[in-house]
Structure 1
Amino acid sequence: MSGLLAGKRILVTGVLTEASIAFHVARLAQEEGAEVVLTGYGRLTLVQRIAKRLPKPAPVIELDVQNAEHLERLAELVGRELGEGVGLDGVVHSIAFAPQEAFDFLNADWPSVATAVEVSAFSLKSLTMALLPLLERRGGSVVGMDLDAQVAWPKYDWMGVAKAALEATTRYLARDLGERNLRFNLVSAGPIKSMAAKSIPGFEELADVWGTRAPLGWDLADPEPAARGVVALLSDWFPKTTGEIVHVDGGVHMMGA
């Protein structure tokens, strides 16, 4: 089998609908030769239905990253799907959530902020450690989804802080697990009209920035450019790249006033 990910085994989190970047990562990964396992949270039957729309139906494992029992069993369940002693070559962290209160920066309470940080940032560490027995067998790549945290975005508020924590978490994981041949990188993508976007109050105001400031242009309905960036980082074409943030945002991140 040929392809950028030929022979690789990849776990993809965050697939909910066909509009999600994670779905297109899973699709492209399969098209590039990978065997894919998905995780789902909450609407598991929906994820299972969406998984059947991939080029090859993929198994779905339930995962709530705030549930210690789910994390403790994750490696075992993934191992069952992949086969005894096989291991993982890559993980896609496409998990983010904040309560509505966290989108009001000055009035948000700590429990809301803590949830945003735990689910959106700390979960990268907890997911990695849960899967470490599988990942360290072969070495490989962990790629997370980001929205550039160097600046303050309209309406993004404490989710923006959580993304800054995600960026820092990526660097520390890259530092501590590089000796086990594990790479950690992020794709900072422009906004996509997905199920997750609908949960952000004022998403349209945030997305409007891309309409006027992206030198390469940006299509809110096209998740594939970001998905291609993730697949590239999962591949062997970046063997010595870690702790990096790759911007797939049409160039908005580098524009001045």
Structure 2
Amino acid sequence: MSGLLDGKRLLITGVISESSIAFSVARLAQEQGAHVVLTAYGRPSLVQRLARRLPHEAPVVDLDVTDEAQLASLADRVGTHLDGLDGVLHAVAHAPASCLDGGFLDAPWADVASALHTSTYSLKALAVACRPLLRPGSALVGIDFDASRAWPGYDWMGVAKAGLESCARYLARDLGPEGVRVNLVAAGPLRTLAARAIGGDGAGFERDWAVRAPLGWDASDAGPTARACLALLSDWFPATTGEIVHVDGGHHMVGS
């Protein structure tokens, strides 16, 4: 039986633990027939260990999305493992502690700039770096968190996510003539390293989310989010771009 992503060539960023959304995407993508390359930032040995826990060990290339030299050489380095790319997952976000947990009014510009560079501008930077390997029908998918409201503790990361949403629309506009789709998946709170900044008390935030979401919500299960990413990376959304797909149990559309 053929898989949803049979023969697809994917570059997946953001694998830092088995709880990472990116790890779930990589695992499911391989199960659906994709060839996967992972990127590592700062701790390649950690990502290499995680790569060995996938159904098939995946190659790992170094990538700091704020490093111009690494971005400039990315296509060549990925090209040693794959002869092109059908899909790219952007699962990169970071903000200094000063930008989170009530620090909105006091965070210095240098820290805010770092958050925006890593979490927002990097979507464009990654797309441009991968552009030589993309082809008509390729897809870029980014991981988002609803930026339509102010969340407890999220502060400047919320601003960065709002910028990510806008960036994705402009990328969709400019890469569309090349046949490349750009979409985001806005996940509900999941128990990942990146999500620890959302909601302050964590467990209480998750409980409230699950109560308000019409479909309920399991913060320990990244599977639904990963499956949405796979669908957007597949050929099943050939005319969808600039979209934000919410995978949050329906929480985003319920009034207060």
- The letter for the 2-side match of 1:74 is L
SS at match of 2:80: helix
Question: Which residue of 159, 163, 166 corresponds with 1:165?
Answer: 163
Q: How many Å separate the matches in 1 of 2:104 and 2:206? A: 19
CA gap 1:233/1:211 in 2 versus in 1, 3 angstroms: same
Q: Match of 2:223, as an amino acid?
A: E
Give matches, 1:142-153, under 5 Å. 142-153=140-151
Find the residue that maps to 2:139 and give its secondary structure. strand
Q: What is the distance in 2 between the residues matched to 1:201 and 1:240?
A: 35
The residue matched to 1:239 in structure 2 has which SS?
coil
1:97 equivalenced with 2:110 (yes/no) = no
* 1:91-125 deviation per Cα after TM superposition (whole angstroms, max 9, x unaligned): 00000000001111111111111111110010000
For normalisation by structure 1, the TM-score amounts to 0.95
**Deviations along 1:165-204, whole A, 9 cap, x unmatched?**
0000000000011000000000000111112234568251
Q: Give the secondary-structure state (helix, strand or coil) at the position aligned to 2:140.
A: strand
TM-score, with structure 2 as normaliser: 0.95
Residue 76 (1) aligns with residue 85 (2): no
Task: Give, in whole Å, the separation in 2 of the partners of 1:139 and 1:67.
Answer: 28
SS at match of 1:81: coil
SS, match of residue 181 in structure 2: strand
Q: Match of 1:246, SS?
A: strand
For structure 2, the residue ranges without an aligned partner over 5 or more in a row are none
The residue type paired with residue 46 of structure 2 is L
| Separation in structure 2 between the aligned mates of residue 92 and residue 121 of structure 1, nearest angstrom | 14
The whole-number CA distance in structure 2 between the counterparts of 1:128 and 1:44 is 22
Identity of aligned residues (%): 60
Q: Equivalent residue for 2:178?
A: 180
Partner of 2:249: 250
2:38 matched residue in structure 1: 38
Unaligned runs of 5+ in 1: none
Give runs of ≥4 in structure 1 deviating > 6 Å: none
Return the letter of the residue paired with 1:89. Answer: D
Counterpart for residue 15 of structure 2: 15
Q: Which amino acid aligns with 2:242?
A: G
**Equivalent in the alignment of 1:141:** 139
Superposition RMSD on alpha carbons, in Å? 1.3
C-alpha separation in 2, matches of 1:45 and 1:202: 31
2:211 corresponding residue in structure 1: 212
Q: Verify the 8 A CA contact 1:5 1:32 in the aligned structure 2.
A: yes
d(CA) in 1 for partners of 2:26 and 2:75? 19
1:223 shift after superposition? 0.6
1:223 matches 2:222 = yes
2:189 pairs with 1:191? yes
